[in-house]
Structure 1
Amino acid sequence: MKLVTIQTNNQDHLGVKTERGILDITAAALAGKGGSLPQSIHELIEGGAAARQAVESFVSEAEAGSAEWLDAASVVYGPCVTRPQKIICVGLNYRKHAEETNAKIPEYPILFNKFNNALTGHGHDVELPVTSKEVDYEAELAIVIGRRTKHVTEEQALDYVFGYCSANDLSARDLQLRTNQWMLGKVSDGFAPIGPELVTADEVPDPNNLQIRCEVNGVQRQNSNTSDMIFNCKEIISYLSRHLTLEPGDIILTGTPEGVVLGYPPEKRVYLQPGDVVTVEIEKLGRITNRMVAENV
């Protein structure tokens, strides 16, 4: 399934994207249709197989003319996961990206975090903070955890994944590199666009063989494959689970490939400016586009 968040009347609705359009599952649940349908992406993830079966059955049986069907082009998208307990990010996780920034290949995953304020959806503007002059794009594959996970083996790790989505790990490089701790450069409002769709894991048999791209104003800046990861998806999940419990709905951003602004020689670095439009596209997962704007202070 391809799951989306629909923003309507200041509320987040769960939707399913199909060839017919987007079916508003929350609206159907509130109208008493479909039995015990989940009303949010988190209810769906936490509800396990029963919740998923209820949604799949309702989608397959929904009448074509019902009010819950929406035109995908008219939907206002929210982040495809709205309330994760944790947003964990992996830095320097593509070999060619490490090489372009003259960084040593890490022995262990380099970890940092973002917070819920950074989440935004497809089509939303992202404010460039006045405290930074060096905001960079980073196309990334995001993993969404489906079940509570602790001390999972690499062989079993992908069994705990609910789905995957496209993400942009926007980074204020001058703030990120101000100290040895990267957090300040990563946590600005809107610095984690994810979506538009959360694609369930059954539709992505190998997350480490996906084309990943980024465009700025229609010009390709990144073009790689998730096979270039230093630590692959199952290794990341297993490693994290040995140190903390992963909960349903947690998001893991898995690193970015080569082609970021920071990888250029200093004299050729042109960071994001107000009006720039950034698109991240990952094979099987769709395209997320956001426009950069000046912060309103």
Structure 2
Amino acid sequence: MKLVSFRKDGRSAYGIVEGEGIVDAHARFGGDHPTLRSLLDPNGLKVLAALAGASQDVALASVELLPVVPDPQNIFCIGVNYMSHLIETGRPKPDHPMVFLRVASSQLGHLQPMVRPDESEQLDFEGELAVVIGKGGRRIAKADALDHVAGYACYNDGSIRDWQKHTTQFAPGKNFDRTGAFGPWLVTSDEIGDPSTLNIWTRLNGEVMQQAPLSDLVFDIPTLIAYLSSFATLSPGDVIVTGTTGGVGAFRTPQLWMKPGDVVEIEVDRIGVLRNPIVQG
């Protein structure tokens, strides 16, 4: 299934993408399940699957797509997690994943404008695969980790580079409003299989900036889930943003920053394309 969160005529909702339309699951279940997050556990996904193939309620082109999970309890981001990015940064291979957090208010959806803030011109792209937890848990074994995944989406972990470097903590540069693009939809894990077989691309104004197989991850997805769940209880709807590959603007010569009028796209095999225009704000 392809699951989306969206806004139509001022009403926030969620549903299943069927062709060029959406089956409005919120209209059917919203009383008990106000957002998609509450239906991402295994039982909730079965409820949603029962609607697959139902008549479309609204045209996909007529809605505003929101971040796939608008209200995650946790957004865990992983830094320097592709070998190609590790090489361009000059960092040694880490012993443990580099983890930082995003806040939900920093996110935006497919086609919504990504904002270059007035505080800085150094808005950088970071194409990434997002993993959305379905079955929660603590101290999850690597062998069982993929069973805890509801699905996958594209993510652009937009970074304000100079603010990221204010201290050794990344948080300021990673949490400006409307800099973390998340979408266009979640593709459930049963349609993806082994995520290490996927490929990811970032394009800026149609030109490829980043490209890599997910097999190039320093810490693969089962390792990340096991590591994160060792110190935090994972909950349905939690998001793990798995890291970006080489080619970011900060390590180009000359450096390349996104500017108003640009269009950035993140594409992942079997998921789709996340597209966002850049505006000033």
TM-score strictly above 0.5: yes
State the distance in 2 between where 1:9 and 1:173 align: 36
Asked if 1:287 is matched to 2:267, the reply is no
Q: State the alpha-carbon separation in 2 of the partners of residues 52 and 247 from structure 1.
A: 14
State the TM-score, normalizing by the size of structure 1: 0.90
What does residue range 1-297 of structure 1 map to in structure 2 within 5 Å?
Answer: 1-19=1-19, 21-29=21-29, 38-46=33-41, 48-49=42-43, 51-60=44-53, 62-63=54-55, 68-265=56-253, 268-295=254-281
CA contact under 8 A between 1:25 and 1:37: conserved in structure 2? Answer: no
Q: Distance in 1 between matches of 2:101 and 2:11?
A: 26
In 2, the alpha carbon distance for the partners of 1:159 and 1:52 equals: 13
Q: Per-residue displacement from partner, 1:161-191 (whole Å, max 9, x unpaired)?
A: 1111000000011111121111111000112
State the distance in 2 between where 1:10 and 1:39 align: 15
Q: Distance in 1 between matches of 2:126 and 2:248?
A: 6
CA RMSD of aligned residues (A): 1.6
Q: Secondary structure at the match of 1:255?
A: coil
SS at match of 1:194: strand
Please identify runs of 4+ aligned residues in structure 1 that moved more than 4 A.
Answer: 36-39
For structure 1, which runs of at least 5 residues remain unmatched after alignment? 31-35
CA offset digits 1:132-188 (Å, max 9, x no partner):
121100000001111221111100111111111000000011111121111111000
User: Aligned with 2:69: secondary structure?
Assistant: coil
Q: Is the 8 A contact 1:276 1:291 kept in 2?
A: yes
- The higher radius of gyration belongs to 1
Partners of 2:52 and 2:215 lie apart in 1 by 34
- Percent of counterpart pairs with the same letter? 35
What is the TM-score with the length of structure 2 in the denominator? Answer: 0.95
Alignment deviations for residues 86-127 of structure 1 (CA, whole Å, 9 cap, x no partner): 111000000011101222221110011110111110010122
Q: In structure 2, give the amino acid aligned to 1:282.
A: V
Indicate how the Cα distance of structure 1 residues 37 and 203 shifts in structure 2: closer, same or farther if over 3 A, else same.
farther
SS of equivalent residue, structure 2 residue 40: helix
Structure 1 residue 28 displacement after superposition = 3.8
Distance 2:49 2:232 in 1: 32
**C-alpha displacement of 1:19:** 2.4
Q: Which amino acid aligns with 2:52?
A: V
Please report how far the alpha carbon of residue 43 of structure 1 lies from its aligned counterpart in structure 2 after TM superposition. Answer: 2.2
Unaligned runs of 5+ in 2: none
